[in-house]
Homo-oligomer: A and B are copies of this chain.
Amino acid sequence: MSQSNTPFDLPPDQPSSRSRRRLLGRLAAGGLVASQGAAAAAGELLRPLEVAPSSRVPGAPVLEHPYGVPSPREAGVVRRSARQWPLPGAASSMTPLADLHGTITPNGLVYERHHGGVPDIDADQHRLAIHGLVRTPKLFTMDDLLRLPAESRIHFLECSGNTGSEWNGPSGLPVQLTHGLLSCCEWTGVRLSTLLEEVGGVSAQSNANGGAWLLAEGADAAAMTRSLPLDRILERALVVYAQNGERLRPENGYPLRLIVPGFEGNTNVKWLRRLKVVDAPLQTREETSKYTSLLANGTARQFVFEMDAKSVITRPSPGHRLTTHGYYAISGIAWSGRGMIRKVEVSTDGGASWRLARLDGAARDRALTRFEADWRWDGAPAEILSRATDSTGYVQPTRAQLVAARGLNSQYHYNAIQQWRVDASGEVRNA
């Protein structure tokens, strides 16, 4: 056989005919994923003692990409839209959750939802105005904001329309297209409370009328605007200029956006150009014609901000295929707009029985939490699902419970338990 050409290592067990047989003899069953490795080809076990094909040629230089890009072999891991939108600037694209791991969404895969397309804004010319019922209205340059005390926090963002495809039952879509209006980043910027101190605080007028509201306006072609209850957001809201360490991406609000942790995505106004303190919500287009939920009795829920606790299994999920029987770690994400995830339960029998999943890492407020549950697939068809409970005690509902409470007219805030079907061939479907 060929000698090892690696530069360092002529190991004591350099395979001779005898040691080769000994090495193969040690290939016994055992461990969680023994079967596949063992089945592959016993001769393969010698591969690590030979030179890797990729070691025989010089690799690519540094700075081939001064700003790096993913492997071309991962070219299928991109944002996608669930449908053709009539106006491509008033549309959405979705995060490929089935291909992601951990809790951070890389900036290139953060979901998009625009109402008037992505504006091209010169950060040097951009200004944030804070005015209305404040003592000293001010305009802030980006440099002004960068000089102020900053804070970084990891939070999820979810469009209130996320998973709306499932109101009428299983859509057949994969998790990217059912749950992919969901991402999670480290956001860096200035606390809203710091900015309100900069303008001398909210003036007394605002207190006479049941508490102040904050109008946030974007500099996009939709002049996207939302009214937000100041008391409820003041403690947590950030005006951010960075996501996952670098300046915001254009489609995520460059150079400035509002982050209101736990609130529905559209309230996290992008391309933020002004914050106006007012004494009542302004009933903007985006809180009247959109983002209200019509109930069965004909009334509508308005100003429903918090995204309720929710979870979904991302692996295995539709598009994945179980290749052999045996052990699989079922992996998914859970989140709540009202606090932390306290527990996640997983079922592999359609909800007849549940077991507690492991939560990965320290609990984070209003951020994705990764969960995992051990499963040994015996080859029989299975229904796998997850159920989140948050720190308020709220339990993610079944679809039947959600429809009973809200009816079927509501486009928004669908957070029911999601079930995937694994058939005997190992194929996973949303059915």
The answer to whether B52 and A219 touch across the interface, beta carbons within 8 angstroms, is yes
A121-163 residues at the B interface, CB under 8 angstroms: 121-123, 127, 129, 131-132, 135-141, 143-144, 146-153
CB-based contact A139/B221 at 8 Å = no
Size bin of chain A's contact surface: 35 or more
Report the bound CA distance from A73 to B328 in whole Å. Answer: 45
Q: A68-B249, A245-B104 are in contact. Are A138 and B55 (CB under 8 A)?
A: no
Q: Using known A-B contacts A88-B61, A139-B37, determine if residue A70 contacts B245 with beta carbons closer than 8 Å.
A: no
**Could you list some 20 contacts between A and B, CB below 8 A?**
A7-B285, A9-B282, A11-B132, A36-B141, A37-B144, A44-B139, A48-B129, A48-B139, A48-B273, A55-B223, A57-B221, A59-B117, A59-B220, A64-B118, A68-B249, A70-B246, A102-B242, A103-B152, A106-B244, A147-B329
Residues of B within 8 A of A116 (CB): 55, 58-59
- The answer to whether A103 and B31 have CB atoms under 8 Å apart is no
A336-394 interface with B by 8 A CB criterion? 358, 360-362, 370, 372, 374
Contact with B along A185-223 (1 / 0, CB 8 A): 011100000000111100000000000000101011111
Kindly state the separation between the CA atoms of A223 and B7 in the bound complex, as whole angstroms. Answer: 8
A300 at the interface (CB under 8 A from B): no
| A361–B100 touching, CB < 8 Å | no
A246 x B74 contact (CB < 8 A): yes
CB atoms of B93 and A79 under 8 A apart: no
Are the CB atoms of A31 and B136 closer together than 8 Å?
yes
From 1 to 45 in chain A, residues with beta carbon under 8 angstroms from any chain B beta carbon are: 6-9, 11, 13, 23, 26-28, 30-34, 36-38, 40, 44-45
Cα distance A129–B64 when bound, in Å?
30
Give the shortest distance, in Å, between A226 (CB) and chain B (any CB).
10
Contact with B along A238-268 (1 / 0, CB 8 A): 0001101111111100110000000000000
Contact A63 B81 (CB under 8 A): yes
Interchain residue pairs A-B with the least CB separation, the first 8: A59-B117, A61-B88, A48-B129, A102-B152, A66-B78, A54-B119, A31-B198, A101-B242
For A110, the closest partner residue in chain B by CB is B68
Contacts of A34 in B (CB 8 A): 136, 138, 198
Q: Does A232 contact B (CB under 8 A)?
A: no
In the complex, A425→B280 CA distance in Å? Answer: 47
The answer to whether A429 has its CB under 8 Å from any CB of chain B is: no
The residues of B that contact A187 with a CB separation of less than 8 Å are 102
B66 touches A8 (CB 8 A): no
> Are A323's CB and B143's CB within 8 A?
yes
Other-chain contact of A66, B65, B79, B146 (Cβ < 8 Å): B79
Q: How many copies does the complex hold?
A: 2
The residues of A with any CB-CB pair to B shorter than 8 Å are: 6-9, 11, 13, 23, 26-28, 30-34, 36-38, 40, 44-45, 47-48, 51-52, 54-71, 73-74, 77-81, 85, 88-89, 91-93, 99-110, 112-114, 116-123, 127, 129, 131-132, 135-141, 143-144, 146-153, 186-188, 197-200, 215, 217, 219-223, 225, 241-242, 244-251, 254-255, 271, 273-274, 276, 278, 282-285, 315, 323, 327-329, 331, 358, 360-362, 370, 372, 374
Cβ contact within 8 Å between B26 and A135: yes
A282 / chain B contacts, CB cutoff of 8 Å:
8-9
Closest B residue to A252 by beta carbon equals B68
Known: A45-B137, A78-B67. A103 touches B245 (CB 8 A): yes
Contact of A114 among B59, B68, B69 (CB under 8 A): B59
- Contact among B58, B186, B278, B370 for A221, CB-based, below 8 A: B58
Question: What chain B residues lie within 8 Å of A249 (beta carbons)?
Answer: 68-71
A346 to chain B minimum Cβ distance, whole angstroms, is 13
Given contacts A37-B141, A100-B246, 19 further A-B contacts (CB under 8 A): A6-B223, A9-B282, A11-B132, A37-B140, A45-B131, A52-B219, A54-B220, A54-B271, A55-B219, A59-B119, A63-B80, A63-B88, A64-B118, A77-B246, A99-B247, A101-B242, A104-B245, A150-B370, A151-B360
